Structure 1
């Protein structure tokens, strides 16, 4: 299929995202944010190796499939305001994200150590979750970071001075 961009945000779509979108191998942008979608994020999206921008925010979608780690061209990933209780899949360490929005999705555990590998990251929003532990000192290596939102979690300890290294 030749479909490269899908913009369906801000409508009244209900039900599940059709698994068949995973067959659109030329797909680069997929935005279904601000709808009433339910169910799981299709595992078939892991076949979308050209996918660069995936926006699923403000729906009622289930867990982040491990297969999304195969989308190595993914630059923008927004699943804010969904029901994705749990952790971010370990397969995400292969990605080269620039904009990562995981706001209010009931994430648990510590901030993954591999976030420091997102050297092109300009925006990181993991606010309003159940993140515990401390803020990684390694965030100082994210020199392109412009926005960091860790608000309303359960972080503790010190604010690492290394964070002021986030400049060119």
Structure 2
């Protein structure tokens, strides 16, 4: 499919994100922020490996951050803040070498920050506030 950008930001959409968006394998930008979306991030999003920009902030999404997000090797911007996401940051995030902005604040995330996150050497903005993380922050380029 040729569709490269979906911008649904700032509407009154309710319910789950349709699985069909996962069939838009050419998507580079998907923004469904600031709506009333519920449910989890669709399993079909696993096919969106060309994503560069994924914004789902300020909804009521639940579930864990999918491990397959680590396959989004073109991703530069990820914002899933202000949801009800729980679990931990997947270790697969260490494969996101192009990631510059990672916003995970105001969720219910917990556990340690995976050491693999230091492989995200292009990060210029990291927000993790208002979660339940514990342990030590990994040493490496992010700590400098």
Q: With the length of structure 1 as denominator, give the TM-score of the two structures.
A: 0.69
**Structure 1 counterpart of 2:91, from 126, 137, 156:** 137
Deviations 1:17-52 (A, max 9, x none): xxxxxxxxxxxxxxxxxxxxxxxxxxxxxxxx2110
| Structure 1 position 104 matched with structure 2 position 51 | no
3-state DSSP class of the match of 2:86?
Answer: strand
Which position in structure 1 is the counterpart of 2:140?
none
| Structure 1 position 76 matched with structure 2 position 29 | yes
Rg bigger for which structure? Answer: 1
Q: Which has the higher contact order (CA 8 A, sep 6+)?
A: 2
Which position in structure 1 is the counterpart of 2:40?
87
**Structure 2 counterpart of 1:128, from 60, 82, 89:** 82
1:89 shift after superposition: 1.1
- The structure 1 segments of at least 4 consecutive aligned residues displaced by more than 6 Å after TM superposition are none
Q: With the length of structure 2 as denominator, give the TM-score of the two structures.
A: 0.80
Question: Any gaps of 5 or more consecutive residues in structure 2?
Answer: 123-144
Question: Any gaps of 5 or more consecutive residues in structure 1?
Answer: 1-48
Matched residues in 2 for 1:127 and 1:150: separation? 4
1:128 shift after superposition: 0.5
